[in-house]
Structure 1
Amino acid sequence: MTSSTHQHLTLLKKSTKAISTTDGKCIDVFELQLNSASEAALKVWAKHFRAQYCLDDELDNLREGSGKSRRDFLLESVFPSATTRLGPAVRSGDFVEILVSDVLETQYGYWVPRTRHSGKMVRDESPRGSDILGFKLVSDADGEWSSNDILIVCEAKGQLSGKLPKARLQDAVDDSVRDALRKSESLIAAKRRLLQLDRLVDAKRVARFQDPLARPHIEHAGAAATFCSSLFDEALIQATDCSQHPNHQGIMLVVIHAPTLMKFVHSLYERAADEA
Structure 2
Amino acid sequence: MPPHINWLKDTGERRLSACGREIEIWKFNPEGDEAILSEWATHFRQHYCVDSDLAAMAAGTGKSHADFLQTILFPDAKTSPGPSLRSGDFGEILVADFIQFILGYWCPRQLRYQDRWNRQGSTQGSDIVGIRYVHPQGDHANDELFVVESKSGLSATDKNRLQDAVTDSMKDHLREAMTLNAMKQRLLVRGQAVEASWIQRFQNESDRPFKRVNGAAAVLDVDVYATTNLEETNTTGHQNEDNLRLLVIRGPSLMKLVHALYERAANEA
Select the residue among 236, 242, 249 that pairs with 1:243: 236
Runs of 4+ in 1 over 3 A off after TM superposition: none
Cα RMSD of the aligned pairs, angstroms, is 1.2
Alpha-carbon distance between aligned partners in 2 of 1:37 and 1:9, rounded to the nearest angstrom: 14
Could you state the TM-score of these two structures normalised by the residue count of structure 2?
Answer: 0.96
2:23 matched residue in structure 1: 27
**Between Structure 1 and Structure 2, how many residues are aligned?**
268
Alpha-carbon distance between aligned partners in 2 of 1:125 and 1:9, rounded to the nearest angstrom: 28
2:164 matched residue in structure 1: 171
1:60 matched residue in structure 2: 55
The question of 1:10 aligning with 2:6 is answered yes
Select the residue among 138, 152, 155 that pairs with 2:149: 155
2:190 matched residue in structure 1: 197
Select the residue among 82, 90, 93 that pairs with 1:95: 90
Could you tell me the percent identity over the aligned residues? Answer: 41
Structure 2 unaligned runs (5+)?
none
1:111 matched residue in structure 2: 106
Q: Is the 8 A contact 2:96 2:128 kept in 1?
A: yes
2:119 matched residue in structure 1: 123
Alpha-carbon distance between aligned partners in 2 of 1:215 and 1:234, rounded to the nearest angstrom: 44
The alpha-carbon deviation at position 106 of structure 1 amounts to 1.7
Q: Is the 8 A contact 1:132 1:153 kept in 2?
A: yes
1:73 matched residue in structure 2: 68
Alpha-carbon distance between aligned partners in 2 of 1:202 and 1:37, rounded to the nearest angstrom: 36
Alpha-carbon distance between aligned partners in 2 of 1:148 and 1:192, rounded to the nearest angstrom: 25
Could you state the TM-score of these two structures normalised by the residue count of structure 1?
Answer: 0.94
Deviations 1:53-89 (CA, angstroms, capped at 9, x unpaired): 1000000111111111111111011111112221111
1:254 matched residue in structure 2: 247
Q: Is the 8 A contact 1:160 1:228 kept in 2?
A: yes
Q: Is the 8 A contact 2:158 2:228 kept in 1?
A: no
The alpha-carbon deviation at position 18 of structure 1 amounts to 2.2
| Range moving further from structure 2, 230-239 or 20-29 | 230-239
Alpha-carbon distance between aligned partners in 2 of 1:234 and 1:27, rounded to the nearest angstrom: 16
Q: Is the 8 A contact 1:80 1:88 kept in 2?
A: yes
Change (3 A) 1:234 1:222: farther
Change (3 A) 1:31 1:213: same
Letter of the 2:33 counterpart? S
| Range moving further from structure 2, 12-21 or 92-101 | 12-21
The alpha-carbon deviation at position 139 of structure 1 amounts to 2.6
| Secondary structure of 2:217's aligned partner | strand
